[in-house]
Chain A
Amino acid sequence: MADPMRIRAQAAGDKATVRVLMSHEMESGQRKDAAGKTVPAWFIQEVTATLNGKPVLSAEWGPGVSKNPFLQFVVKGAKAGDKVAVTWKDNKGDTRTDEATVS
């Protein structure tokens, strides 16, 4: 639904640092719009990542994460050519998966 995630995975030794920039409004549910109505909460709740299909990361986020969320984590046992896939699911049930290759 949204723009694709930008994923960069860089191997250093037997680890890879993965940086992800997701495209999402991340409404906290605290803001009021011009008419004074509270903008309903709309944010990524779950993030998962796999390395060559094997789950390596699972995270739960709240409305406090910034808009267009950034995430950085370090996965072990990764080498150049491996595939990293990141999936997010938001509180409306929308989901998105993007993949990148470790360089």
Chain B
Amino acid sequence: MQTRRETLKQSAVVAGLLASAGFPQFAQAAFNKTGFDAKSVQDAVKAYGGGALAESKDVVITAPDIAENGAVVPLGASTTLPGVKQMLILVEKNPSALVAMFYVSDAVESNFLTRAKMGQSSDVYAVAIMADGKALFAKKEVKVTLGGCGG
């Protein structure tokens, strides 16, 4: 059964290679815990290979001025700049500042919207990490009224 064993071994190796190749377009498929443990916006950005934050008019953070319900705040990050690797959405005063990170591939636009929890009124950041490591951001202050029915 030498031949069959060889064949099986071969396929195992190929399968292993395929599994580790995973998403060839994306830098890493594993969950980056450091980013989510980071306490500051800059640290979270650094965990994904971003450099010093630089404000940019080309990055847009979509967020309400006042969030009536801090449990569900619609937050969006978008940019028209080319060469973006990742888009991050962060809430500065949350215990875990990084809310979400999106890998930008050629097949999607750099335009993402989700809903996040905000513990208190805080600045919300949209950060675009470029292919060269530059981190461009836009921020907006979102006030959170936790008291039941708004007001």
Instruction: Report which A residues bind B (CB closer than 8 A).
Output: 15, 26, 28, 30, 45-46, 48, 51, 54-67, 69-77
Instruction: Report which B residues bind A (CB closer than 8 A).
Output: 23, 25-26, 29, 31-32, 35-36, 71-74, 76, 91, 94-96, 98-103, 105-109, 111-117, 119
The distance in angstroms between the C-alpha atoms of A99 and B113, with both chains bound, is 19
Q: How far is the CB of A18 from chain B (nearest CB, A)?
A: 9
Residues of A within 8 A of B76 (CB): 72
Asked whether, in the complex, the Cβ of A71 is within 8 Å of the Cβ of B107, the reply is no
Q: Of B26, B73, B96, which one neighbours A58 at CB under 8 angstroms? A: B26
CB-defined A-B contacts under 8 Å, sample of 10: A28-B96, A45-B31, A51-B107, A54-B107, A60-B100, A64-B91, A70-B74, A73-B113, A74-B109, A74-B111
Q: How far is the CB of B36 from chain A (nearest CB, A)?
A: 4
The distance in angstroms between the C-alpha atoms of A43 and B12, with both chains bound, is 33
